[in-house]
Structures are given as structure tokens and as C-alpha cells.
Amino acid sequence: MRILGIESSCDETAAAVVEDGSRVLSSVIASQFSTHGMYGGVVPELASREHMRAIVPVVTEALDRAATKLEDLDAIAVTHGPGLVGSLLVGMTYAKALCFARNIPLIGVNHIEGHIHSVILEAGESIEFPALALVVSGGHTHIYHASHDYTYKLLGKTRDDAAGEAFDKVAKLLGFGWPGGPVVDLLAPYGNPAAVKFTFAKMSGNPLDFSFSGTKTAVLRWAEAQNMQAEIDARRALKDPKLEDWLAHTPQATLDLLASFQNHVIEELMRRVRILAEESDARALIISGGVACNLGLRRAAQTGGLPYPVFFPTRGLSTDNAAMIAAAAFPKLWRKEFSSFELRAYANLALA
């Protein structure tokens, strides 16, 4: 069974052909990094326009690389939320048009479920259910209980910024550009993670919820107190900086701040996971989404003494891609859970 996946929820136009929910025949991603980088974040209207430019060549290339024709497809899966509505509509309109013209079933997929399936796609039956699924990206920090039939119960979520958003905002205010996660991850090993102490968020009500906005504000206050403007401006002026350029323009105190910030975010995530390790019936932990690329998080989860195995996607499948959307649609294809052409785009779309 072959599914074409289409993903356009944020700033990546992606298409992939996946066979039987586990074999990636092709995965093509057109990133809009160069469009948004100068603005320090995704500009929704520019994102929609870039998707319109990229959607036809990206889908065509995914089909060509997979040596697959439209008539070979059993379904087309498309992300219908959560995300930027103008961006979602580009992928959805194209998917609907292909399905209508060729009489192919359409399957709408929740982007968060896609991130969970980026791990299931690779690890397959080695993941025992029920599992915990921590989805940490630029838009989401959610933890779910996932059953073997891919139904989900939301256990906790961020009340303000997502973890990736905190990385992005901290990097931006310190002059490290956008997106922030990769550069903080790159520089954190050069700093002392215990140098700056952050206060752990106290959550009234659900202790499994997250909050990262206070951490970001603490970094801002720290930067103001240290009078860092000159070094921040010098970093902002760097053109296509590499590791050695960042290191040459970043004093040890700032490297210590980055390492401490990253360490704190990881510890906030791991605290929730440790509470659940004692309380839930889970037999595995899935960690996915862009922040799952973070080497410090991978190390902390894998060496954290958790009572079950931890599964991450390979780096290419951690950030937004369409293979995860096609993989998430595979069980729905089995169950004939098709979408009508009334399928709508949602900025907010809950998974559970």
C-alpha cells in the first residue's frame, strides 16, 4: 500500500511516498529557512507564498524519486492542522485536487500525530504500547499516553511557550539568529550547565503541564544585567556563521548561560517524564518534534535511568517532513477512515 504524504503546516513544503507505513520510498523537503531567517521567525504570508511556489515541484519530485505514478497510490495524506492556516491550505488544496481528479482517497492527518509516527515509522514493533509520547517542537510541548490502536490521551502541555519557541526566542534575543535550537545545541557543550540557576516552573493544577516563558524572561533579565549589547550586535552582524565564528564572538559567560538554559529546559521535560515513569503503565517513551534533535535531551533521556526504552526519530525525521504524515495515515487507510472534500484547515487542532 502506497501513500503520498503532503505537509505544509509551517515553513517546510514536504512530500513523501511511504509503503506499508514503514518503507520510505522518497522524502522531499523544501525549507523556507532563507526566506524567514532575516525576520527572525516565520512570516505567515511569506510562508503561504513559498508553499505555492514549491508544492508542485516538491510533490512531483517525491513521486519521481519513488518511481510512483498517481495511479499507483492507495491514498493521499495531508496535514490539516495545527499550523498556519494559509500554509495548510496550500497543501490541502493540492491534495484535494489530486484526489478529486484521480479518484484517490484523501486522509487528513493531525501534525502532532505525524510527529509521533515519525518514531513509529522507524522503530515499528520494537515499541511496546501503551507508550508515552512527548512531542517537543517550535509549536508544541505536549505529553500523551498512546495506546496500541493509536488513540491518545493528553496528560500535560505547555501553558505558554513551546520548548522550541523558548530556544528560538532566547537565541534571537542573544543575537544567535533563527532558528535557535540548533545553534544553542551546538554551543551548549562549550559552557557550564550549572553556572546559571533558573527557577523551576511551579504548576498549579496539573503538575504535568509545562511553562517556559519565565525561563525566557530570566535570560532576558540576565542579559540586561550583564550589559551584553555590544557582543549581541557583533553576533547579529555575522554572515553565515560557523561554530568557530560563534565561539570567537561569544564570551565564556554567555556560553555558560546557553548551556544552563538548555540544561534547564531539558530538566523541565525530564521532570514530567520521571513523574510519569512512576505513575503510568507505559512500556516505552517516544520523544519527537524538532527539539528531539537536541543532543543534550537525547543523552538525558537515554541515560536518565527510565524504566522503559526511549525512542527518538533519526534527525531527518525529527523536524517537519511528510514521511511522518504518510506513516500516520497508514492505520487510517486500514480502517478506511477517509476524509471528505469538506476537510478544513485548523490553526489549533487537538489530538486528544
Which stretches of the chain bind ligand KG4, using CB under 6 A?
Answer: 10, 137-139, 164-165, 167-168, 179-182, 185, 289-291, 293-294, 319-320
Judged by CB, which is closer to Zn ion: 8, or 250?
8
For residue 87, the minimal CB distance to Zn ion (Å) is 12
Q: Which does 177 bind (CB under 5 to 8 A by kind): Zn ion, ligand KG4, none?
A: none
Site for Zn ion contains 7 (CB under 5 A) = no
Which of these ranges, 102-110, 277-285, 292-300, 317-325, lies near Zn ion under the rule CB under 5 A?
317-325
Q: Which does 293 bind (CB under 5 to 8 A by kind): Zn ion, ligand KG4, none?
A: ligand KG4
Contacts for 142 with CB less than 8 Å, ≥ 6 apart: 112, 134, 135, 154, 156, 157, 158, 351
Contact status, residue 107 vs residue 78, Cβ threshold 8 Å = yes
Q: Which does 179 bind (CB under 5 to 8 A by kind): Zn ion, ligand KG4, none?
A: ligand KG4
For residue 162, the minimal CB distance to ligand KG4 (Å) is 7
The one-letter amino acid code at 150 reads Y
Q: Which does 105 bind (CB under 5 to 8 A by kind): Zn ion, ligand KG4, none?
A: none
Judged by CB, which is closer to ligand KG4: 105, or 141?
141
Interface residue with Zn ion among 137, 260, 263, 318 (CB under 5 A) is 137
Q: Are strands 152-157 and 141-146 parallel, antiparallel or unpaired?
A: antiparallel
Query: Looking up cell 524567514, which residue turns up?
Result: 36
Contact status, residue 135 vs residue 141, Cβ threshold 8 Å = yes
Output the CA–CA distances (angstroms, integers) from residue 165 to 161, 168, 170, 178, 200, in the order listed.
6, 5, 8, 10, 18
For residue 103, the minimal CB distance to ligand KG4 (Å) is 32
Q: Which does 113 bind (CB under 5 to 8 A by kind): ligand KG4, Zn ion, none?
A: none
For residue 55, the minimal CB distance to Zn ion (Å) is 18
Which of these ranges, 20-28, 179-187, 258-266, 320-328, lies near Zn ion under the rule CB under 5 A?
320-328
Interface residue with Zn ion among 165, 185, 268, 320 (CB under 5 A) is 320
Give the number of residues written for the chain: 352
For residue 153, the minimal CB distance to Zn ion (Å) is 20
Judged by CB, which is closer to ligand KG4: 188, or 333?
188
Judged by CB, which is closer to ligand KG4: 127, or 324?
324
Question: Could you say which DSSP state residue 149 is in?
Answer: T
Q: Which does 167 bind (CB under 5 to 8 A by kind): ligand KG4, Zn ion, none?
A: ligand KG4
Q: Which of 27, 29, 123, 88 is CA-nearest to residue 326?
A: 27
Q: Are strands 285-288 and 131-136 parallel, antiparallel or unpaired?
A: parallel
Output the CA–CA distances (angstroms, integers) from residue 15 to 62, 85, 104, 320, 325, in the order listed.
6, 18, 16, 11, 9
DSSP string, 317-341: HHSS-SHHHHHHHHHHHHTT-PBPT
For residue 351, the minimal CB distance to ligand KG4 (Å) is 13
For residue 85, the minimal CB distance to Zn ion (Å) is 16
Distance CA 88, CA 79 (A): 7
Locate 171 and state its grid cell: 537565541
Contacts for 67 with CB less than 8 Å, ≥ 6 apart: 25
Which of these ranges, 45-53, 72-80, 271-279, 316-324, lies near Zn ion under the rule CB under 5 A?
316-324
Note the residues at the interface with Zn ion (CB under 5 A). Answer: 137, 320
